[in-house]
Structure 1
Amino acid sequence: MLKVENIRFGYVPSVDIFRDVTFTIEGGEYIAIGGRNGCGKTTITRLLVGLEKASEGRMYYNGTDITSMPPSKRGQFIGYVFQQPDRQMFRPTVATEVAFGPESLGRSKSEVKQIVDEVLERTGIAHLRDAYPPTLRRGEKQRVAIASALAMQSKILILDEPTSGQDGKETKELLALLRQLNQEGITILLITHDMEIMASECSRALIMGNQTVAFDGNPEELFKKSTDELQDLGLTKPPSVELSLAVPSLGYCKSMDELKSKLVAQLSGK
């Protein structure tokens, strides 16, 4: 469990980006973090991993105060995938990059090899073990970063806008991997502007706005709000939700697949 209490932060001392931010993340949740540009979505996650320091408030992991814990220590339970994942890579091959974490923890060579082999297979990039990370596609680099987090046995995985700039195939493959990891018990935090992903993949939406947490609940509750309320938060209704709510008696649909399925059932009289 990760708990944030009354966090306050601003890059300029006299100007807060947000204040009084409080929320709790339970193990195994799949959370979308959203809001308009500049509201503090990425900043709040950088605070979680220790890349920024709050001016007020405390953070706890499983009851332990981690407010002053350095990023290197938090990396043992929180993994972070940057929006540009190549910026967090510095070793000559995928395998040695993924090995860095367990090596730094003092694992033996045989243990490191076993860990690396396992996580490369788990993330579907075993065939890239000898590749030079900067030459990989963005989706492959993300998988290297995810594998590096898994090699540290991270229980929480944060991804910053992971689907931006990717084609449909890469997006589907990444979402399938995240779904699988979440089913295995890993907590996923997804910073995203993609309303369809927020609705279809996530069980909880945490929306930043008005210098604090403006909404914290399930996506269905969020997207049933009025268009004006959503626009105030820099959000829109996903097409599947917009269309499903426009069809009498169809009900809320979190994805286009669910919408098609319900329409077929309704037309066939089932």
Structure 2
Amino acid sequence: MLEMRDVTFHYTDGTPVLEHMNLTIGTGEFIGLGGRNGCGKTTVTRLLMGLEKPVSGDIFLDGKRINDEEAAARSPYIGYVFQRPERQMFRPTVRQEVAYGPEQLGRSREEVASAVTAALQATGLEHLAEAYPPNLNRGEKQRVAIASAIAMHTQYLILDEPTSGQDSADKKSLMALLSRLHRDGLTILIISHDMDIFAEYCQRVIVIGHHTKAFDGTPQDLFTKREDLYELGLNRPDAVTLSQAVAGLPYCKSVDEFTAAMLQRLGGK
């Protein structure tokens, strides 16, 4: 379990970002992290990764305080996919890029090769193993970053706005990959402004507002019980709005679910 206990963070000029932040991320969860631009979402993930340090409060992994661990020390168990994944790539081929992490952990050549092969297969990148990473499209670069985390047998994967700028097909492909990795045991935390992702894929949503946690619960509770979505920088997904507008229709987390529910109702008549 990853935990933030009473964590406060502000910039050097004293501008507050997070105040008395508490959250837990349990093994095997699929969590969405949302809120307005500048609310501190990315800061939360940077604190978890060790890219920033709390002004006060503590961060724990399985009960062990890790405040003083640098990002490199946390990378074997927390993987991070930046909004622009090319910024974390520097090797000449996809295979070598994915191999970097296991090599830095001191694994044998055979262990590295096995981990890389498995990671490339899991992310569908076998055919791009010898490609030059900067030449890949954005979706492929994200898969390389994900494969790099998988090769290190990461327990937690954090992604910052992974579907921004992608078309519907690329978005569905990426979310299908993340869903499959989650089913295989990977814990996923995804920052996004796409509420459709929260509704359809996440088990739990955490919303940051007013420098601390403003909501922590299921997507259904968020989208059906909160009246302050706009103030929090969120919107209600179309599928939820439509299903609520039809009397007697169950909560629908996706347009496909709404369509199926409507067809079933019409077929019943």
The number of residue pairs the alignment matches comes to 269
TM-score, normalized by length of structure 1?
0.98
- Are positions 1:16 and 2:16 aligned together? yes
TM-score, normalized by length of structure 2?
0.98
Superposed CA offset, 1:164-206 (max 9, x none)? 0011111111000000010011100000000111111100000
5+ residue gaps, structure 1, are: none
Shift of 1:263: 0.6
Map of 2:163 onto structure 1: 163
SS of residue in 2 equivalent to 1:130: coil
Shift of 1:13: 4.3
Shift of 1:12: 3.2
- Are positions 1:146 and 2:152 aligned together? no
Shift of 1:261: 0.9
The share of aligned pairs that are identical, in percent, is 53
AA in 1 matched with 2:77: F
Cα distance in 2 between the residues matched to 1:50 and 1:210 = 23
Shift of 1:251: 2.3
Shift of 1:34: 0.2
5+ residue gaps, structure 2, are: none
* Coordinate RMSD, CA, aligned: 1.0
Superposed CA offset, 1:219-261 (max 9, x none)? 000001355x111101110000011000000021111111011
Map of 1:205 onto structure 2: 205
Map of 1:124 onto structure 2: 124
SS of residue in 2 equivalent to 1:197: helix
Map of 1:253 onto structure 2: 252
Superposed CA offset, 1:29-72 (max 9, x none)? 00000001000011110110001111011011111111111101
Aligned counterparts, 1:157-236, within 5 A: 157-227=157-227, 229-236=228-235
Cα distance in 2 between the residues matched to 1:172 and 1:191 = 16
Map of 2:67 onto structure 1: 67
Aligned counterparts, 1:29-44, within 5 A: 29-44=29-44
Superposed CA offset, 1:58-90 (max 9, x none)? 011111111111101100100000000000000
Cα distance in 2 between the residues matched to 1:86 and 1:231 = 33
Cα distance in 1 between the residues matched to 2:59 and 2:91 = 32
